[in-house]
Amino acid sequence: MRRQVLFFISIFFLGSVLGQVSYSIPEEMAKGSVVGNLARDLGLDVKRLKSGKARIFTGDNAEYIELSRERGLLLVKERIDRESLCRQTTPCALHLQIILENPMELFPVKILIQDQNDNPPQVLYPVQTGGSLVAEMVPRSADVSYLVTKVVAVDVDSGQNAWLSYKLQKATDRALFEVGVQNGEIRTIRQVTDKDAVKQRLTVIVEDNGQPSRSATVIVNVAVADSFPEVLSEFTDFTHDKEYNDNLTFYLVLALAVVSFLFITCLVVIISVKIYRWRQSRIMFHSNLPVIPYYPPRYSDTLGTGTLQHVYNYEVCRTTDSRKSDCKFGTAGSQNVLIMDPSATGTMQRIQSEKSILDEPDSPLEFTSVEST
Q: How does pLDDT run across 152-198, given as a tens digit for each residue?
A: 999 999 888 999 999 999 999 999 999 999 999 999 999 998 889 88
The conformation of residue 10, written as its DSSP 8-state character, comes to I
* Residue 153: per-residue pLDDT: 95
Q: Under 8 Å CB-to-CB from 246, ≥6 apart: which residues?
A: none
Distance of CA 175 to the CA centre of its chain: 39
pLDDT band at 19 (very low <50, low <70, confident <90, very high): low
77 versus 242: the higher-pLDDT residue is: 77
pLDDT of residue 187: 95
State the DSSP code for 351.
P
* Local confidence band at 9 (pLDDT 50, 70, 90 cut-offs): very low
Q: What gap in Å lies between CA 135 and CA 198, rounded to an integer?
A: 11
d(CA 25, CA 35): 7
Q: What is the pLDDT of residues 196-237, one digit of tens each?
A: 988 899 999 999 999 889 999 999 999 998 887 777 666 665
Helix (H) or strand (E) holding 69: none
Sort 199 into a burial class: Cβ within 10 Å, 0-12 / 13-18 / 19+. Answer: middle
**Other beta carbons within 10 Å of 369:** 11
State the pLDDT at residue 235.
63
Out of 95-104, 124-133, 320-329, least confident range: 320-329
Give the whole-angstrom CA distance, residue 166 versus residue 29: 31
List, as own/partner pairs, every contact residues 277-281 make where C-beta atoms lie below 8 angstroms and the sequence separation is at least 24, other chains included.
Answer: none
Pick the closest to residue 134 from 32, 222, 71 (CA basis).
Answer: 222
Name the DSSP class of 80.
Answer: -
Higher pLDDT, 32 or 1: 32
**DSSP, res 179:** E
Query: Do 20 and 108 contact (CB within 8 A), yes or no?
Result: yes
Map out the domains of the chain with their CATH numbers.
Answer: 2-114 (2.60.40.60), 122-231 (2.60.40.60), 308-373 (no CATH)
Residue 373: predicted pLDDT: 42
The CA-based dihedral angle spanning residues 122, 128, 130, 135, taken in that order and rounded to the nearest 10 degrees: -170
d(CA 174, CA 299): 101
Average pLDDT of the segment spanning 69-88? 89
Interval 36-65 mean pLDDT: 85
Query: Percent of the chain, pLDDT > 70?
Result: 64
pLDDT digits (tens, 9 = 90+) for 239-293: 555 555 677 888 889 999 999 999 999 999 999 999 988 888 877 666 655 555 5
